[in-house]
Structure 1
Amino acid sequence: MFQLAANITFLFAERPFLERFEAAKAAGFDCVECHWPYEHPVEDIAAALERSLVRLTGINTPPGDTPPGDTQAGELGLAAVPGREEEFQRGFDLALSYAKALGVRMIHVMAGNVSEEARDGAFDTFVANLRIAADKVGSSGITLLIEPLNTIDRPTYFLTSVEQAVEVLDAVGSERIKLLFDIYHVQLQQGNIVNRLERYWNRIGHIQIAAVPDRGEPDTGEINYSYVMQRLVMKDYRGLVAAEYQPRDTTEAGMSWAWQYGLGRTGNPE
């Protein structure tokens, strides 16, 4: 059976970052992930993890030039951006140091926004950077992830389809790199979710969920999540399914969707 995780960049966002770990635990989560933890020293995050008794399971590589505190703007990574290879590798080294220090087992390597004139070289840049990153991971047990984003929300992001991501994985040729299958992005960009899950099952390392089209709690909208989750159970998926959505009210007020998927409550919803 899969396990639910909370993306605390989106969830519990009304609280300071270091307080979100305990809030996630109170809501029933044992695992959390986030986008960019780098504004906070490793020691402070480690202390928050120890207090809350949750595990930090995933982080992203640094986003490049992004305004401080803005999770929606900026370059969204550098891995596929020609001419920024040295900057990407420095950022990856930072992500890897955080992951090793905090016991994080997954790093989302963000491809980045690529201009039209730079797209011819972006694929080769992405592949080369991922090969170096995979070598740096070595035998640490950390999995690298790549994620297609939809062009409605992210019109200039390089990686936009599941098939394109699989092409990248094939070119890199490393078992240390997997597909992050974000159902929200795949539905908006391509649809045919369950068939794509089935077709690329062995390439998937992580799954994220949110409603479509509003990116709220996965309890309404055009995706039948009960059916999708049933298919994950039938496939004996034992990984994490991360709640990466934008709560319509407080996070706690919208948590009832998760109880049917085994999330336990250790605190009282607000």
Structure 2
Amino acid sequence: MEHQNNPRRSFLKKAAASGALATFTGGISFAQSQSEPIRRDFNLNYAPHFGMFKHHAGDDYVDQINFMAEQGFPALEDNGLMKRSPEDQKRIGAALEKNGMQMGVFVIDPGFNWKVALTTGKQEYIDAFVQECEKAAELAKVVNAKWMTVVPGYFERKLPMDQQTSNIIEAYRRGAEVLEPHGLTMVMEPLSDNPDLYLRHSNQSYMICKAVDSPAVKILYDIYHMQRNEGNLIANMELCWDEIAYIQIGDNPGRKEPGTGEINYLNVFKWIDEKGFKGICGMEHGNAQPGKEGEAALIEAYHTADKFK
């Protein structure tokens, strides 16, 4: 989509400099007052998270969703969805439906200590994981979700690496038995935050997906984490592409919006689009600048990185 003459983009440029966007303040967002369909201003399906635009939309979940929709974002991701009240979960689902938006990932968190997790093969942890998968399957109906994030946890130093891998494969097979009949997919996320975490590379995740052999178990490729752990982003994504179901975004260093670090997101997004990816690209990062000016700058950063056509 061509954005050079897009009035919204010109408006946001001015807002980033002046701290404007006053149109979107107040109890009712601009999106709520419109009868025409929500605009879609991006080539890829970027998904913000709650709090990213709180200085414009306020603290209410529905107001934030309405603001995201008005800005052209077609999806939302919410890691903490399972811990929210049933009332809030229903309000979030209704607001997404009203705005024609998709639900991105939420996290399946069994609640046990990740230092002694699925790598151990202990039945109590597998049972807890399966139970949370069952809860996630029910919650997915409320918000029309398709994907949920999973991480296997820490290394079990007392076991050989291959044994730990086998334990994870078995646990994910059990989870897949719950999710697959509902058409749902757990997406495992290799992380860079802690060297004690078992899952750190895309090829590890790829091997587990092939071993589980279920459409309910795929890869969440977080570009920020993978830049830190392995780099060579496009080549490594190509190697794992048939198992990647969800993508997350964050520049490095800093884990902020595209254009604030070393990753050439214009090229990365162009490649993802050329692969025909129709899934969600979650904006799992912070804002580089504070306040309304920072939020406007973040939106403008996505227009800039998305302008590959």
TM-score bucket (shorter structure):
0.7 to 0.9
In structure 1, the residue corresponding to 2:158 is in which secondary structure?
helix
Which one of 96, 114, 127 corresponds to residue 137 of structure 2? 96
Q: Does the CA contact (< 8 Å) of 1:63 and 1:76 recur in 2?
A: no
In structure 2, the residue corresponding to 1:180 is in which secondary structure?
strand
Inter-partner Cα distance in structure 2 for 1:236 and 1:168: 24
Q: Over residues 62-84 of structure 1, what are the superposed CA-to-partner deviations in whole Å (9 max), with x where a residue is unaligned?
A: 1525xxxxxxxx73994444322
What is the aligned partner in structure 1 of residue 40 from structure 2? Answer: none
Q: How many residues align?
A: 251
What is the aligned partner in structure 1 of residue 82 from structure 2? Answer: 38
Which one of 177, 183, 186 corresponds to residue 135 of structure 1? 177
What is the aligned partner in structure 2 of residue 82 from structure 1? Answer: 121
Inter-partner Cα distance in structure 2 for 1:13 and 1:240: 22
Q: Report whether the alignment pairs 1:144 with 2:183.
A: no
In structure 2, the residue corresponding to 1:117 is in which secondary structure?
coil
What is the aligned partner in structure 2 of residue 198 from structure 1? Answer: 238
Which one of 98, 102, 117 corresponds to residue 55 of structure 1? 102
Q: Report whether the alignment pairs 1:109 with 2:156.
A: no
What is the aligned partner in structure 2 of residue 68 from structure 1? Answer: none
In structure 1, the residue corresponding to 2:83 is in which secondary structure?
coil
In structure 2, the residue corresponding to 1:228 is in which secondary structure?
helix
Q: Over residues 173-205 of structure 1, what are the superposed CA-to-partner deviations in whole Å (9 max), with x where a residue is unaligned?
A: 112221111111111000000101122211110
Which one of 155, 180, 194 corresponds to residue 195 of structure 2? 155
Inter-partner Cα distance in structure 1 for 2:182 and 2:142: 12
Q: Does the CA contact (< 8 Å) of 1:106 and 1:142 recur in 2?
A: yes
What is the aligned partner in structure 2 of residue 188 from structure 1? Answer: 228
Greater percentage in helix: 2
In structure 1, the residue corresponding to 2:186 is in which secondary structure?
strand
User: Which amino acid in structure 1 is aligned with residue 177 of structure 2?
Assistant: D
Inter-partner Cα distance in structure 2 for 1:206 and 1:32: 13
What is the aligned partner in structure 2 of residue 256 from structure 1? Answer: 300
Give the fraction of aligned pairs with identical amino acids, expressed as a percent.
24
Q: Does the CA contact (< 8 Å) of 1:77 and 1:109 recur in 2?
A: no
What is the aligned partner in structure 1 of residue 281 from structure 2? Answer: 241
In structure 2, the residue corresponding to 1:116 is in which secondary structure?
coil
1:202-217 matches, cutoff 5 A: 202-217=242-257
Q: Does the CA contact (< 8 Å) of 2:187 and 2:217 recur in 1?
A: yes
Distance change (3 Å), C-alpha of 1:32 and 1:79 = farther
TM-score, with normalisation over the residues of structure 2?
A: 0.73
Higher relative contact order (CA 8 A, sep 6+): 1
What is the aligned partner in structure 2 of residue 70 from structure 1? Answer: none
What is the aligned partner in structure 1 of residue 45 from structure 2? Answer: 3
User: Which amino acid in structure 2 is aligned with residue 18 of structure 1?
Assistant: Y
Cα deviation for residue 223 of structure 1 reads 0.6
Structure 2: runs of 5 or more not aligned? 1-42
Which protein is bigger by CA-based radius of gyration?
2
Cα deviation for residue 114 of structure 1 reads 3.1
Cα deviation for residue 220 of structure 1 reads 2.5
Q: Over residues 211-268 of structure 1, what are the superposed CA-to-partner deviations in whole Å (9 max), with x where a residue is unaligned?
A: 1011011112111111111111222222211111111224623221112427xxxxxx
Inter-partner Cα distance in structure 2 for 1:238 and 1:160: 25
Q: Does the CA contact (< 8 Å) of 2:149 and 2:186 recur in 1?
A: yes
User: Which amino acid in structure 1 is aligned with residue 86 of structure 2?
Assistant: V
Which one of 97, 109, 126 corresponds to residue 168 of structure 2? 126
TM-score, with normalisation over the residues of structure 1?
A: 0.83
User: Which amino acid in structure 2 is aligned with residue 62 of structure 1?
Assistant: D
